Structures are given as C-alpha cells and as structure tokens.
Amino acid sequence: QVQLVESGGGLVQAGGSLRLSCASSALTFSPYAMAWFRQAPGNEREIVAGIRWSGGTTYYADSVKGRFTISRDNAKIAMYLQMNTLKPEDTAVYYCAARSGLRGLRDLRERNEYEYWGQGTQVTVSS
C-alpha cells in the first residue's frame, strides 16, 4: 500500500526550531487530507496539525497554535511541519498520516480517519 516517509526529526534545545517533512513515492494522486500526529511514551497518539489538500484549510492543536505551521506541496505530494519555539513537552514521535477521500469522513482531528501512516520520526527537545 501507500508508503509515507517522515524526516527532519532530531534533538533540539528548548526555544529552537525543526522542520519535518513527509513524502510518498507511492501516491499518484492528491489525498483528501494529510495530518501530523504525535505520541509521547505512555500517551495516546494525538493530532498536532492537519491540512485539507484542496484549498489548504488547516487545523492546529491548541498546544502548538502560534508556534507550528503546516504546509503542503501539490506538485510533490509532500507535507511539512515548521516547528518553532519548541518546548520539552513537544518531545514525541511525530507521524505523518493521509486520508485518500471523503467517504465516511466524520472528524479529521481523529487518528482513525487516516488510513495511511508513516513510520514516525523522533523529536526530542531538551530543557
């Protein structure tokens, strides 16, 4: 099936920045939506930011609003997450997800709305 690949994670000091990328060599058409989720040890996977491919409508979790920016590249079918003013509580594995279409859609903030996932990239923010 479709393979999504994240990159750009790493170790950064509090207040620093990272830029995550997500790309797929398997997708030959634009998805309906893509999103970034994250999961810290012992916690559930939660939405960070999402983007609807057509029109670029975005959503941000309250915890990252004003610090993170999600974007997409239609030509490359790629997605990015610019993370600024990073905090130790941002430490988690960040996952790229994609939804192919509209059928059955209820809420793009929920992880079960996405059928394709990447392997995750570790983001560690030191205090």
pLDDT at 54 over 80: yes
- Residue 72: per-residue pLDDT: 94
Question: pLDDT tens digits for 68-112?
Answer: 999 999 888 899 999 999 999 999 999 999 999 999 999 999 999
Instruction: Say which residues have a Cβ less than 8 Å from residue 30's Cβ, sequence separation at least 6.
Output: 53, 54, 74, 77
* Distance, CA of 45 to CA of 19 (rounded, Å): 20
Q: Are 31 and 100 contacting, i.e. CB atoms less than 8 angstroms apart?
A: yes
- Average pLDDT along the chain: 93
Whole-number pLDDT of residue 36: 98
Strands (E) located in 1-127 = 5-7, 10-13, 18-23, 33-39, 46-52, 58-60, 68-73, 78-83, 92-99, 116-117, 121-126
How many C-alpha atoms does 24 have within 13 Å on its Cβ side?
A: 24
Burial of 118 (0-12, 13-18, 19+ CB in 10 A): buried
What is the predicted pLDDT for the residue at 24? 82
Joined together, the tokens standing for residue 103 give: 């059928």
